[in-house]
């Protein structure tokens, strides 16, 4: 059992392979946070909590008469409350029937359960029963009888602890939850920084590292989705922590809606982290007897740098968040027509593209936006999920049959949560659109949102999409969402309940996804929101891959995929080779560079394949065969960031076989200079004593450059020469110099006897 409960002393210790977490219910009943970090023993470590009489930090009534040292304003806690003496950011803000904003939680009881808890209607980390444990600690506000059930899931092998909260109104009056966070974590001492990921459409997940100085630091989204602007993932680390050394913590929120992550360094230098649903658009009514479940946060600790945080999360997302047939099945190499045709296509043209693609080894043809309703641009048609047979020149089924007859699978784009004013659906059901009565809505891409908080809308969409899936041989769906949500209002909710809209919307989305993925397990769903606007661990529970960004430029993608890799695995990142000059940046990069970068994701193509030369076609064949040869290494390998896009010359990453038998090192010169210093990287994850041989892929190298390169190998070894894992780890691997702008190299390192 990974949970040790010492009931007599109110002490609860959670152990994973390399970490320990401890909390203690004190004599007053406050559940104190004691420790989270490197694995240690079960002994009581609460001696580190030092109490002192501090002015303006008051004392709970029960102890105030006896002592001025005990203050909720300074004590580290597992779940802090607003309004009763803790003046820091808090996890729970309850409005009582008398209008007061107050709660004060005291320990009531606990239970330890074999297996990992689940959360009704929400994504959650899952595991075989014997590989996870749950601790449930129940706290109570004695005045209102509100219960707070703190749930801790422990995945020992993965070094993962999850947190979620159930709030039950056991009182006799309605209460309103104004804030109900999923996680409160108090760091008792230490100087911290946090790494967060900000961005915008076509430039998602840029890394920002900031000192957590005094004051409140926050990221979040009030856009209805997790958003392009901030990702619901953060790392808290000690100063000087880098990829390979230092203490750090990763927090990933399994939620696709509005979120907030806040950190506050308090008056005595303690740091509190709070993560949960964003409170701005949240006011949840809880009638007597009702319960509210928060979404889940998964957290992990590493004493050996940030790289390990990423690898712990990658493993857990791949096997304990992603579900269904496609979790383990090889994903097809796809070709998508969006950047090839945009809205301007015919069925005949698509069939021609599919035929050529099939001949080059592509496995899945994805028909993107524009196949339904009246949809020749982005101003109309959303909501009318009926094939436009006039445009296609045939039925959708006939087109799909032509494509599958060439040996390819067929996939389709949807944007189920949106509706155009110019659509039959809107004309029939204007009340299904998210607008505030009496106000003109803010338009974005000239579209409105369908009110997914409504059960009738959810049911309609399940039925409509199911009908298409049943009529057409589809094995893939791209689930897109192309605007942020404002004018939040549901015609199906009364005035008092409008504060529930944003969260109910997400619950509705999850219900539709759950229903469709369960009904059509053979369909691979890829999430998308104008690229990576809803790239979160919650979505990955339903869609095991997500289109990473609408920016398909290989050099811009280096930063986007680098940032994404901190919290999410390669198998989750949709990445395609597209045409040059690139449609978003105008940049021209070599074909091999584009494929090298797309191979750090799910790998596919998005260009007009009918316009490519024989020679380019041959390159595609080679790229696909290389990707398939190294599929397991790329998709399931351990990921190491060896050099960042902020490096002067070259971004380098590595995927290593978990047993250390082989590795694939990829390097892209994002900036070429004259007479440069050599690039040497220390290869990780190999066996120190084993011998390895290198193989360099040289696809795009001009013949002559290739020869001179081979005769002047700038390595410390010759192609084919043996080199030990220890040498590669300690001395490093010399990355061959760039022979052209944006040069990419892929170097396969394989163990030899
Ligand atoms: C945004 C997506 O990210 C693109 O890939 C494409 O599907 C368009 N929407 C279609 O409207």
Q: Over the stretch 319-360, which tens digit does the pLDDT of each residue have? A: 999 999 999 999 999 999 999 999 999 999 999 999 999 999
The per-residue pLDDT for 706 is 52
Rounded Cα distance between 751 and 659, Å, is 11
Q: Which residues belong to the active site?
A: 536, 616
The per-residue pLDDT for 230 is 98
Maximum separation of any 2 CA atoms in the chain, in Å: 87
Cβ of 270 closer than 6 Å to ligand 1, yes or no, is no
Per-residue model confidence as pLDDT tens digits over 394-445: 999 999 999 999 999 999 999 999 999 999 999 999 999 999 999 999 999 9
Band the pLDDT of 288: cuts 50, 70, 90.
very high
Per-residue model confidence as pLDDT tens digits over 547-595: 999 999 999 999 999 999 999 999 999 999 999 999 999 999 999 999 9
CATH superfamily name and code, 3-320: alpha-galactosidase from lactobacil brevis (2.70.98.60)
- Tokens encoding 331: 């994903």
User: What's the chain's average pLDDT?
Assistant: 96
Rounded Cα distance between 391 and 30, Å, is 66
Residues of the chain with CATH 3.20.20.70: 334-547
Cβ of 480 closer than 6 Å to ligand 1, yes or no, is yes
- When the candidates are 3.30.565.10, 2.60.40.1180, 3.30.590.10, 1.10.8.60, the CATH number that belongs to 639-752 is 2.60.40.1180
What is the residue with the minimal CA distance to atom 2 of ligand 1?
530
DSSP codes, 54-79 = -TT----HHHHTT-SS--TTTS-BSS
The per-residue pLDDT for 713 is 47
The per-residue pLDDT for 704 is 52
**Comparing 506 with 719, which gets the higher pLDDT?**
506
For residue 581, is the peptide bond before it cis, meaning its omega torsion is within 30 degrees of 0? yes
- Overall average pLDDT of the 306-327 stretch: 98
CA distance from start to end of the chain? 41
Residue with tokens 């047993």: 659
- When the candidates are 3.40.50.10710, 3.40.50.2300, 3.20.20.70, 3.40.50.620, the CATH number that belongs to 334-547 is 3.20.20.70
Does residue 98 sit in helix, strand or coil? coil
**CA 606 / ligand 1 centre spacing (Å):** 12
**CA 484 / ligand 1 centre spacing (Å):** 14
Rounded Cα distance between 606 and 338, Å, is 7
Residue in 340, 369, 484, 549 to alter for ligand 1 test, most ligand atoms within 8 A of Cβ: 369
Rounded Cα distance between 159 and 179, Å, is 29
Cβ of 528 closer than 6 Å to ligand 1, yes or no, is yes
**CA 482 / ligand 1 centre spacing (Å):** 8
Q: Does the pLDDT of residue 714 top 70, yes or no?
A: no
- Tokens encoding 27: 């004599």
The per-residue pLDDT for 1 is 78
Query: How far, in whole angstroms, is CA 615 from its chain's centroid?
Result: 37
Q: Does the pLDDT of residue 712 top 50, yes or no?
A: no
Q: Are 232 and 297 in contact (CB under 8 A)?
A: no
Cβ of 339 closer than 6 Å to ligand 1, yes or no, is no
Residues of the chain with CATH 2.60.40.1180: 639-752
Task: For residue 146, list its beta bridge partners.
Answer: 141, 169
C-alpha distance from residue 573 to each of 181, 329, 449 (Å): 28, 16, 26
- Overall average pLDDT of the 513-534 stretch: 98
**CA 585 / ligand 1 centre spacing (Å):** 16
Question: Residue 590 — φ and ψ, nearest 5°?
Answer: -60, 150
Rounded Cα distance between 354 and 334, Å, is 10
Cβ of 413 closer than 6 Å to ligand 1, yes or no, is yes
β-strand 334-336 against 604-606: which pairing, if any? parallel
The per-residue pLDDT for 718 is 62
Residues of the chain with CATH 2.70.98.60: 3-320
Cβ of 550 closer than 6 Å to ligand 1, yes or no, is yes
Atom of ligand 1 nearest to the CA of 531: 3
As separate numbers, helices (DSSP H) first and strands (DSSP E) second, the chain gives 15, 39
Cβ of 530 closer than 6 Å to ligand 1, yes or no, is yes
Q: Are 666 and 686 in contact (CB under 8 A)?
A: no
The per-residue pLDDT for 711 is 43
Short-list 695, 687, 685, CA closest to 726:
687
Residues contacting residue 240 through CB under 8 Å, at least 6 positions apart: 246
How many other β-carbons are positioned within 10 Å of the β-carbon of residue 427? 11
**CA 364 / ligand 1 centre spacing (Å):** 17
Percent of the chain at pLDDT exceeding 70: 97
């Amino acid at each position: 059992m990974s949970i040790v409960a010492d009931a007599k002393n109110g002490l609860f210790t959670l152990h994973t392979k390399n970490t320990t977490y401890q909390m203690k219910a004190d004599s007053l009943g406050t559940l104190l946070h004691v420790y989270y970090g490197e694995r240690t023993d079960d002994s009581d470590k609460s001696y580190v909590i030092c109490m002192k009489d501090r002015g303006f930090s008051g004392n709970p009534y029960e102890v105030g008469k006896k002592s001025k040292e005990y203050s909720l304003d300074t004590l580290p806690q597992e779940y802090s409350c607003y309004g009763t003496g803790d003046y820091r950011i808090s996890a729970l803000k309850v409005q009582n029937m008398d209008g007061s904003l107050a709660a004060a939680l005291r320990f009531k009881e606990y239970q330890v359960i074999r297996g990992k808890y689940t959360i009704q209607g929400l994504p959650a980390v899952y595991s075989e029963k014997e590989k996870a444990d749950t601790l449930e600690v129940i706290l109570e506000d004695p005045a209102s009888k509100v219960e707070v059930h703190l749930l801790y899931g422990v995945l020992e092998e993965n070094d993962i602890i999850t947190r979620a909260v159930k709030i039950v109104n056991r009182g006799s009056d309605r209460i309103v939850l104004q804030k109900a966070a999923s996680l409160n974590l108090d760091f008792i001492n230490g100087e911290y920084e946090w790494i967060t990921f900000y961005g915008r459409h076509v430039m998602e997940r840029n890394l920002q590292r900031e000192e957590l100085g005094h004051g409140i630091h926050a990221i979040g989204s009030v856009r209805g989705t997790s958003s392009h602007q901030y990702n619901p993932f953060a790392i808290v680390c000690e100063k000087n922590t880098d990829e390979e050394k230092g203490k750090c913590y990763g927090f990933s929120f399994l939620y696709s809606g509005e979120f907030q992550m806040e950190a506050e360094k308090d008056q005595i230098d303690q740091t509190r982290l709070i993560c949960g649903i964003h409170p701005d658009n949240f006011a949840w009514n809880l009638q007597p007897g009702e319960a509210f479940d928060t979404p889940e946060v998964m957290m992990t600790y590493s004493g050996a740098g940030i790289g390990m945080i990423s690898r712990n999360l990658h493993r857990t997302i791949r096997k304990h968040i992603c579900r269904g047939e496609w979790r383990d099945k090889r994903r097809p190499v796809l070709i998508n027509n969006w950047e090839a045709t945009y809205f301007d296509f015919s069925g005949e043209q698509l069939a021609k593209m599919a035929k050529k693609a099939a001949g080059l080894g592509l496995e899945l043809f994805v028909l993107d936006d524009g196949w339904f309703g009246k949809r020749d641009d982005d101003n109309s048609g959303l909501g009318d999920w009926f094939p436009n047979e006039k445009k296609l020149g045939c039925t959708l089924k006939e087109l799909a049959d032509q494509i599958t007859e060439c040996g390819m699978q067929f996939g389709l784009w949807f944007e189920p949560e949106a509706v155009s004013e110019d659509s039959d659906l809107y004309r029939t059901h204007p009340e299904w659109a998210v607008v505030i009565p009496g106000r003109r809505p803010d338009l974005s891409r000239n579209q409105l949102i369908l009110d997914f908080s409504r059960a009738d809308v959810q049911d309609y969409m399940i039925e409509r999409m199911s009908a298409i899936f049943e009529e057409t041989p589809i094995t893939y769906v791209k689930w897109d969402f192309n605007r942020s949500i404002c004018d939040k209002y549901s015609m199906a909710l009364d005035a008092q309940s409008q504060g529930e809209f944003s969260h109910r919307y997400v619950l509705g989305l999850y219900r539709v996804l759950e229903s469709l993925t369960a009904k059509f397990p053979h369909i691979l769903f890829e999430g998308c929101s104008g690229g990576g606007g809803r790239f979160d661990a919650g979505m990955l529970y339903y869609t095991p891959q997500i289109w990473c960004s609408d920016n398909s430029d290989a050099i811009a993608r280096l930063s986007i995929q680098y940032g994404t890799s901190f919290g999410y695995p390669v198998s989750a990142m949709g990445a395609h080779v597209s045409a040059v000059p690139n449609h978003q940046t105008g940049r021209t990069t070599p074909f091999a560079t584009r494929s090298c970068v797309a191979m750090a994701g799910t790998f596919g193509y998005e260009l007009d394949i009918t316009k490519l030369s024989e020679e380019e076609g041959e390159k595609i064949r080679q790229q696909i065969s290389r990707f398939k040869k190294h599929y397991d290494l790329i998709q399931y390998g351990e990921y190491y960031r060896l050099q960042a896009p902020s490096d002067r010359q070259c971004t380098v990453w590595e995927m290593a076989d978990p047993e250390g038998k082989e590795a694939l090192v990829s390097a892209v010169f994002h900036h070429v200079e004259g007479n440069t210093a050599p690039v040497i990287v220390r290869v990780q994850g190999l066996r120190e004593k084993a011998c390895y041989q290198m193989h360099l892929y040289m696809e795009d190298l001009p013949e002559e450059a290739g020869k001179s390169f081979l005769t002047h190998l700038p390595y410390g070894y010759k192609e084919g020469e043996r080199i030990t894992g220890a040498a590669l780890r300690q001395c490093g691997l010399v990355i061959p110099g760039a022979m052209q702008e944006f040069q990419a190299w892929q170097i396969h390192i394989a163990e030899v006897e």
